[in-house]
């Protein structure tokens, strides 16, 4: 077993999923998943399509969504509806929300998962204000707009809103990821502020603080290919568990220790992160480009 594999088995132990409990919980439910065309969203969509549910899949790539719909419906268990749009586009977002209210007024579960990640040094961002507006647009404003619009419906159905956050939202921020971390942390804080009011009205809420997950999002950072990461199957199972256990948050067992050490050993932590940014800027990492968008 390689050291990476060994680390993965310690850091990300297997996640058990009680398929009977999940099936009971999902019976006849309507589930909206954003970011369904790739990575975590794609894996989750396929897992949930094994149950008699109505899946509403959202992402930009229409061809990919239609292909998924064909494959899933061919199994004859789930009904699938797709909406292909850029969630940052105001008009298209308003169109989606109108369609959700007129055509699917019984959404029970929302998995807000669409996201975009950018790794770029602040010194390579001086003329790139748009990196900050576009990450806020998809990682913060889009889920805020979606949830605000769906709150009355979720209250009526006793629904569940789940979102895919990151461990970085709960740790000391690292250089190179200002746009991504700030936008993910913004939604995390917004959601945790809204949560008690939503829960009081019967809407269930779950925040997933995910570590590195092996998806197309992390591919542009060559160094990540050697680092321990979760699989999309593991994350889909965790989301499945959260659906029937109704837990309010999930985080890896080691997050508290990582958070503590990121503050206590701040000097070392920043030094290591700065070295990575410097290496990337100097293009010392082989094929890696000086700065990259993820996803
Ligand atoms: N991978 C990780 O290490 C990691 C760790 C922590 C948290 N997360 C979070 O997990 C979520 C899923 O990430 P992933 O790793 O599965 O990434 P991914 O494979 O890149 O998938 C991102 C999804 O978001 C959709 N999307 C991106 N921009 C969009 C836009 N403007 N409008 C509509 N859809 C858009 C993409 O579809 P289209 O391109 O078709 O639009 C795709 O389906 C993200 O919110 C991410 O922040 C990931």
CATH code where residue 180 lies: 3.40.50.720
What's the gap in Å between 187 CA and the centre of ligand 1?
Answer: 15
139 in Cβ contact with 180 (< 8 Å): yes
Domains contained in the chain, number: 1
Encode pLDDT of 176-219 as tens digits. 899 999 999 999 999 999 999 999 999 999 999 999 999 999 98
The parent domain of residue 229 ranges over 3-289
pLDDT, one tens digit per residue, over 161-178 is 999 999 999 998 988 899
Tell me the per-residue pLDDT of 218-271, one tens digit each, with 9 for 90 and over: 988 888 888 999 999 999 999 999 999 999 999 999 999 999 998 888 888 888
Q: Is residue 73, in this structure, part of any structural domain at all? A: yes
Pocket test for ligand 1, best of 11, 35, 68, 180 (most atoms within 8 A of CB): 35
Residue 38 Cα to ligand 1 midpoint, Å, equals: 7
* Residue 294, domain member (yes or no): no
- Does 159 fall in a domain? yes
- Whether 59 lines ligand 1, by a CB cut-off of 6 Å, is yes
Establish if 51 belongs to a structural domain: yes
Q: Residue 239 and residue 169: Cα distance in Å, rounded?
A: 19
Residue 288 has pLDDT above 60, yes or no: no
Going by pLDDT thresholds of 50, 70 and 90, the confidence category of residue 13 is very high
Task: Give this prediction's pTM.
Answer: 0.95
- Reported as a single tens digit per residue, the pLDDT across 104-141 is 879 999 999 999 999 999 999 999 999 999 999 999 99
Atom of ligand 1 nearest to the CA of 61: 40
Query: Which residues are the active-site residues?
Result: 180
Q: How far is the CA of 102 from the centre of ligand 1 (A)?
A: 27
On average, the pLDDT of the chain sits at 93
Q: Is the CB of 40 under 6 A from ligand 1?
A: yes
pLDDT of residue 194: 98
Whether residue 22 is contained in a domain is answered as: yes
Q: Is residue 295 part of a domain?
A: no
Domain membership of residue 164 (yes or no) is: yes
Give yes or no for residue 61 CB within 6 A of ligand 1: yes
Give me 59's structure tokens: 């992402």
pLDDT surpasses 90 at 158:
yes
């Amino acid at each position: 077993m390689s050291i990476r594999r060994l680390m993965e088995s310690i850091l990300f132990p297997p996640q058990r999923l009680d398929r009977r409990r999940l099936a009971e919980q999902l019976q006849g439910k309507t589930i909206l998943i954003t970011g369904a065309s790739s990575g975590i969203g794609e894996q989750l969509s396929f897992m949930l399509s094994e149950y008699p549910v109505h899946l509403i899949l959202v992402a930009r790539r229409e061809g990919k969504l239609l292909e998924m719909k064909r494959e899933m419906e061919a199994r004859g268990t789930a009904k699938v509806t797709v909406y292909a749009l850029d969630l940052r586009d105001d008009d298209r977002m308003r169109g989606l929300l109108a369609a959700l209210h007129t055509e699917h007024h019984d959404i029970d579960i929302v998995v807000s998962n669409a996201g975009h990640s950018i790794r770029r040094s602040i010194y390579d961002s001086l003329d790139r204000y748009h990196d900050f507006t576009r990450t806020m647009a998809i990682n913060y404003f889009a889920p805020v707009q979606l949830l605000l619009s769906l709150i009355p419906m979720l209250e009526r159905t006793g629904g569940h809103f789940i979102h895919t956050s990151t461990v970085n939202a709960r740790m000391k921020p690292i250089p190179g990821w200002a746009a991504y971390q700030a936008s993910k942390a913004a939604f995390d804080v917004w959601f945790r502020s809204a949560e008690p009011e939503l829960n009081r009205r019967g809407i269930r809420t779950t925040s997933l603080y995910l570590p590195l997950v092996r998806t197309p999002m992390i591919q542009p950072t060559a160094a990540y290919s050697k680092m321990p990461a979760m699989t999309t199957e593991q994350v889909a199972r965790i989301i499945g568990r959260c659906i029937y256990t109704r837990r309010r948050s999930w985080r890896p067992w080691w997050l508290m220790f990582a958070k503590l050490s990121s503050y206590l050993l701040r000097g070392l932590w920043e030094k290591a992160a700065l070295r990575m940014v410097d290496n990337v800027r100097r293009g010392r990492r082989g094929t890696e480009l000086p700065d990259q968008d993820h996803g």
